Structure 1
Amino acid sequence: MADGRDGKKIDVDRRLLELLACPLTKGPLAWDPERGELISRVAKLAYPVRDGIPVMLPSEARAISAEDVLSPPRLGGPS
């Protein structure tokens, strides 16, 4: 479970998730509640969410492995 700086659980509004796109690929993002990140499977990047605000800068993103990209049970997305 991801926590914000104040110790509260971070969550992303589903409507916001539907509007956001990867700045590099313009593709969809999936929410990873375990790490509090937005995942771009195509770009293989994880964008952090800080204090409930997505940081959509490629320079701030974490590179993820192909194994992480292929493990969808942990990732959520719009229903």
Structure 2
Amino acid sequence: MSLDPLLLEVLACPCEHHAPVEVDGDPATAIVCTRCRTTFPVRDGIPVMLLDDAAPGPHGIGNPVSSVDE
């Protein structure tokens, strides 16, 4: 199941910086913050944007990942 592109345009990471998110994988099983790389699960086609359910990025939730780290 794919996520609605309009939904992806309005979703943002719930950390204080509110960076956009992108789909991780095909079909979408998770979405990832473009700033901190925190991963949020997609369950039954619905993104779960709760920090308690998220997998923190390499530097933690909300902490930016530089291009060198990727």
Q: Do Structure 1 and Structure 2 share a fold, with TM-score over 0.5?
A: yes
Q: Confirm or deny: 8 A CA contact 1:11 1:33 kept in the other structure.
A: no
| Number of matched pairs | 60
Q: Who is 2:52 aligned against?
A: 59
Structure with the larger RCO, 1 or 2 (CA within 8 Å, 6+ apart): 1
TM-score (norm 2): 0.70
Q: Confirm or deny: 8 A CA contact 1:31 1:38 kept in the other structure.
A: yes
Q: Percent identical across equivalent pairs?
A: 36
Quote how far apart the aligned CAs of 1:44 are.
Answer: 2.5
- 1:27 pairs, out of 19, 26, 40, with 19
Quote how far apart the aligned CAs of 1:45 are.
Answer: 0.5
Amino acid at match of 2:39: A
Query: Structure 1: which 5+ runs fail to align?
Result: 1-9, 71-79
TM-score (norm 1): 0.63
Amino acid at match of 2:9: E
C-alpha RMSD of the superposition? 2.2
Amino acid at match of 1:60: D
